[in-house]
């Protein structure tokens, strides 16, 4: 079980495709998993998998603090935190104050606040693994993606800073950086930008050396690796799960 059995994990954005796949993989490896999401588990799929679900707006520190405390009470101190929650705003220089506030409040501030309230639990364990979701968009510029890409660059910066801050407590911090993954978020972003879905899938597939978009389960496998003892000497790193996107 690679040292994961019995550990408590929180996955933010846990009802999204990547978050849910990550939660399922961690549960399969023996973790007790709590999902944080702003949505309710309307179709009960998390409950079916015996995953604890907490309705949390991670831009609200009070909600975060209450939910983290509840997780510790129900499942024990958190050993693994997967920060996969994200808001998607695709704007360039035309971005408004509201656009910036909306995306920064989740992607940067929300990630930071959840981490703030989980770290004391990890310190009790003298160990922990924090996995922040960045992206290939945290490495390169993309047209009209300034709002989104800047937050993904920021996540990589936070990862390296926190890795230095927390190493002495036995807490590892890494980022995972997917390429284009065929998820509902990809579908929704195409709709938001009024793009043809099939054409965008072909374009996105061609950007990768493997000539396809990735699958949520492939990202989840990388999350489980970073959470596990197999990655015990890895911290402050960016793990690319990008099908060769950045190698082109």
Does the residue 196 lie in any domain? no
Query: How many folded domains does the chain comprise?
Result: 1
Does the residue 56 lie in any domain? yes
Does the residue 234 lie in any domain? yes
pLDDT of residue 192: 82
Q: What is the pTM of this model?
A: 0.95
Q: How far apart are CA 127 and CA 170, in angstroms?
A: 4
Q: How far apart are CA 169 and CA 167, in angstroms?
A: 5
User: What CATH number corresponds to the domain at position 152?
Assistant: 3.40.50.720
Three-class HEC string of 114-183: HHHHHHHHHHHHCCEEEEEECCHHHCCCCCCCHHHHHHHHHHHHHHHHHHHHHHHHCEEEEEEEECCECC
Does the residue 223 lie in any domain? yes
Average pLDDT, the chain: 96
- For residue 108, is pLDDT > 90? yes
Does the active-site annotation cover 182? no
Where residue 114 falls among pLDDT bands split at 50, 70, 90?
very high
Does the residue 171 lie in any domain? yes
Among 148, 180, 182, 245, the active-site one is 148
φ/ψ region of 20 (left if φ > 0, alpha if ψ in -120 to 50, else beta) reads: alpha
pLDDT of residue 75: 97
Dihedral (Cα; 111, 84, 101, 201), 10-degree rounding: 160
- Residue 26 is part of which domain span? 8-180+215-247
How many Cβ atoms from other residues are within 10 Å of residue 202's Cβ? 11
pLDDT of residue 1: 53
């Amino acid at each position: 079980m690679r040292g994961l059995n019995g550990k408590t994990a929180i996955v933010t954005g846990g009802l999204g495709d990547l978050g849910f796949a990550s939660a399922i993989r961690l549960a399969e490896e023996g973790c007790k998993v709590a999902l944080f999401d702003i949505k309710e588990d309307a179709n009960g799929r998390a409950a079916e998998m015996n995953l604890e679900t907490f309705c949390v707006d991670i831009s609200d520190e009070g909600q975060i603090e209450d939910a983290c405390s509840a997780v510790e009470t129900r499942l024990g101190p958190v050993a693994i935190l997967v920060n996969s929650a994200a808001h998607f705003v695709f704007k360039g220089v035309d971005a408004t104050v509201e656009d910036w506030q909306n995306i920064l409040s989740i992607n940067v501030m929300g990630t930071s606040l959840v981490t703030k309230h989980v770290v004391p639990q990890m310190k009790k364990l003298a160990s922990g693994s924090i996995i922040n979701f960045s992206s290939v968009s945290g490495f390169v510029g993309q047209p009209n993606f300034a709002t989104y890409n800047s937050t993904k660059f920021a996540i990589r910066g936070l990862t390296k800073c926190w890795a230095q801050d927390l190493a002495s407590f036995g807490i590892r911090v890494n980022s995972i950086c997917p390429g284009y993954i065929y998820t509902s978020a990809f579908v929704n972003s195409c709709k938001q930008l009024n793009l043809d879905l099939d054409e965008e899938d072909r374009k996105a597939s061609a950007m990768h050396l493997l000539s396809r978009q990735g699958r949520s389960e492939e990202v989840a496998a990388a999350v489980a690796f970073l959470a596990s003892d197999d990655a015990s000497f890895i911290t402050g790193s960016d793990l690319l799960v990008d099908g060769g996107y950045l190698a082109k």
